[in-house]
Amino acid sequence: MAIYKKANPKIWSGRTSDQRLYMHEKIKCGPIESISPHSIALLGYECDEGVKRNQGRVGAVDGPNAIRAQLGKMPNHLDSKTEVYDCGTIECIKGDMEVTQNKLSQLVSKSLTKNALPIILGGGHDIAYGHYIGLANHIGKGKTIGIINFDAHFDLRSVENGPNSGTPFYQIAQDCNANGTPFKYLCLGIRPDSNDKNLFETAIDLEVEFLRNTEFNIQKLKTVSRVIKKFISGVDHVYVTIDLDGFSSAYAPGVSAASPMGFSPDIVLRSLGTIIKSKKLLGLDIAEMNPTYDIDDQTAKLAASLIHFVIHRE
């Protein structure tokens, strides 16, 4: 079971002004049906059932509001024509992750009918399956979606024991195979200490493109940019998913699988800039925000800053 919860304006707070200088003064609260065309639609995904099934540390269910709280405090540099909406939250009830993903896919598709950019706040990385299905259902057959995942993990685990936060891209690959749709997946920041040899073999079998964490850094920006641009040139649309556990725990301690060996924000920001310039970005989400393990809201601030960066360049 999953329920939809209306946006709570009280979550959005910060310094006040008479010029809408801050994001909490800019953001409107309302259902997707009420949003203006060509706006930005924020939607929460309160679910960490997939993390629990994947034997991870739970707590990401509280991620969406933690991100909202930090984004609201940030400055607003958007023009008056650009509208940003908080469209509410999908809550997972009694561990029914599959129904929650299905509800997410429906709302993502609905936001795209408004020509809005959906930005989904998570929540476990099982967010990716529901988000992708919503994008795919909207564009229909004949168009390709390239997935760009900033992550330490492939998340290509088998669904033999059921879907979880480690299976979304394997599930997408299966769906693509069943539908005769190309599976286009680029993963940036892969760590050998976070993926067993079977996952690497699966990635190779599925023709996944990836850069290891030793290759994904600002010193190798030219190579990273070239890989991203080549990948984007081969697809019609791009879906970006950012798993916060891909970052070093120096930047993102508040995740279910923290590690000091992750990447840094600078290369992610430059990569996002390249993606946005392509004009192919169809949807974006932030996964694995876990306030239980955060320190001084560092991870929530990082997630909010990533969203702030995207919406000010989209």
CB within 8 Å of 204: residues ≥ 6 apart: none
Give me the helices (H) in the chain, please.
Answer: 23-26, 49-53, 63-71, 97-113, 127-139, 168-179, 197-205, 221-233, 265-277, 298-311
Separation in Å, CA 29 to CA 10, 97, 228, 246, 275: 10, 25, 34, 31, 28
Q: Which residues pair with 188 in a beta bridge?
A: 150, 211
By three-state DSSP, how is residue 240 classified? strand
By three-state DSSP, how is residue 7 classified? coil
Backbone angles phi, psi at 80, to 5 degrees: -65, -20
User: What does the radius of gyration of the chain's CA atoms come to, in whole angstroms?
Assistant: 18
pLDDT tens digits, the chain, 314 residues: what are they? 899 999 999 999 999 999 999 999 999 999 999 999 999 999 999 999 999 999 999 999 999 999 999 999 999 999 999 999 999 999 999 999 999 999 999 999 999 999 999 999 999 999 999 999 999 999 998 899 999 999 999 999 999 989 999 999 999 999 999 999 999 999 999 999 999 999 999 999 999 999 999 999 999 999 999 999 999 999 999 999 999 999 999 999 999 999 999 999 999 999 999 999 999 999 999 999 999 999 999 999 999 999 999 999 97
Each residue's pLDDT tens digit, 169-212: 999 999 999 999 999 999 999 999 999 999 999 999 999 999 99
Q: Are 240 and 289 in contact (CB under 8 A)?
A: no
Q: Cα separation of 95 and 47, whole Å?
A: 8
Phi-psi region of 258 (alpha: psi -120 to 50; beta: other; left: phi over 0): beta
Nearest to 12 by CA among 64, 82, 56: 64
The alpha carbon of residue 252 and the mean position of all alpha carbons in its chain are separated, in whole angstroms, by: 15
By three-state DSSP, how is residue 143 classified? coil
Q: Which amino acid is at 268?
A: V
Nearest to 300 by CA among 59, 56, 128: 59
Q: Are 271 and 217 in contact (CB under 8 A)?
A: no
Q: Cα separation of 94 and 87, whole Å?
A: 23
> Is the preceding peptide bond at 123 cis, omega within 30 degrees of 0?
yes
- Chain mean pLDDT for the chain: 97
